Amino acid sequence: MIEYVDIEKVIEPIGKIPVIDVRSPSEYEHGHLPGAVNIPLFDDEERAMVGKLYKNSGRDAAILLGLEIVGPKMVGLVKQARRVNSKNGLFMYCWRGGMRSASMAWLFNTSGLKVTVVKGGYKAYRRFIRDGFSKQMNCWVLGGMTGSGKTEILHKMKQKGEQVLDLEKLANHKGSAFGAIGLPAQPTNEQFENDLYKEFSFFDLSSVVWIENESRSIGVNSVPEPLFKQMKDAPLVNLVMAKELRIQRLVTEYTSFNAEKLEDATFRIAKKLGGAQTKKAVEAVRNGDFYTAIDIALTYYDQTYQYGLSRRDEKLVFNIELAEDNPEKSADIILEQVVGLEQNILRNML
**In angstroms, what CA-CA distances link 323 with 175, 246, 301?**
25, 11, 21
Q: Which of 94, 142, 153, 265 is catalytic?
A: 94
Q: Is 139 a catalytic residue?
A: no
Count of positions (residues) in the chain = 350
Among 181, 177, 10, 173, smallest CA distance to 97 is for 10
Q: SS3 of 3, please? A: strand
CB 235, CB 140: distance < 8 Å: yes
Please give the helix or strand (H or E) that residue 29 lies within, else none: helix 25-30
Among 227, 240, 244, smallest CA distance to 291 is for 244
b/e sequence 46-74, b meaning 16+ C-beta within 10 Å: bbebbeebbeeeeeeebeebbeebbeebe
b/e sequence 274-310, b meaning 16+ C-beta within 10 Å: eeebbebbbebbeeeebeebbbbbbebbeebbeeebe
192 Cβ neighbours under 8 A, 6+ residues apart: 170, 171, 186, 221, 222
b/e sequence 19-40, b meaning 16+ C-beta within 10 Å: bbbbbbeebbeebbbbebbebb
Q: SS3 of 140, please? A: strand
Apex CA 69: angle with CA 67 and CA 73, to 5°?
100
Rg of the chain in Å (alpha carbons): 25
Query: Could you tell me the end-to-end alpha-carbon distance of the chain, in angstroms, rounded to an integer?
Result: 60
* Residues forming the active site: 94
